[in-house]
Amino acid sequence: MRNRFDSQLENLNEMLIHMGELCEIAIEDATKALETEDLDLAKKVIESDEEIDHQEKDIENLCLKLLLQQQPVARDLRQISAALKMITDMERIGDQTADIADIVMSTQFEENQSLADIRLMAEAAAKMVRDSVAAYVQKNLELARRVMCADDTVDAMFDKIKQELVDFISKRESTNADQAIDLIMIAKYLERIGDHATNIAEWVEFSITGTHASLEQL
């Protein structure tokens, strides 16, 4: 019975890795579509959100099956509960990459410094997602905590981009103001993706230690 349970937990890990990879690819493709004005790639990102949603449902079904059929002990229960929380954040990451792609579909962007900074911010956010899922699979508490710390870096990147674009709007009067506002929105979506990766890392910490910030406040 335990061997079957361990096999199903391994399957859960593989499904989470795949969902994390889908999110990471969506972040990368959305950013590339922005830089290259590739509308077909932006459309692909929007369509990939449906695949991420399906993956969430499949993982949720497996977790519920494990909870109902296997009667897991405390540590296993934390691992499954954490996975259920994590997929909610990953699904929202998919939504936010689709939101970025929607903006790309409707706006033409001029080359400016903020586009380069958004590329760096997207890379940092994608790494947070990748590392948070890896921390869960590897049961790596140190890696999870590094993800939490990286959120400060992504937040600082957002503040820098926002200030650049506010300055751009003030210097260029009303010309291209809409474009600058759209870029601020894209940076905000990336900042939220960083927040979701941090949430995932916090649930990894819970799965390993049994402690979570939200539970300590109760």
For the chain, the structural domain boundaries read 2-216
Supply the pTM of this predicted model: 0.93
Q: State the pLDDT at residue 218.
A: 45
- What distances in angstroms separate CA 60 from CA 12, 71, 212, one per listed residue? 10, 16, 21
The one-digit pLDDT tens for each residue of the chain (218 residues) are: 578 888 999 999 999 999 999 999 999 999 999 999 999 999 999 999 999 999 999 999 999 999 988 777 888 999 999 999 999 999 999 999 999 999 999 988 877 778 899 999 999 999 999 999 999 999 999 999 999 999 999 999 999 999 999 988 887 655 678 888 999 999 999 999 999 999 999 999 999 999 886 655 54
Alpha carbon distance 64, 111 (integer Å): 48
Q: Are 129 and 27 in contact (CB under 8 A)?
A: yes
Q: Which CATH class is domain 2-216?
A: mainly alpha
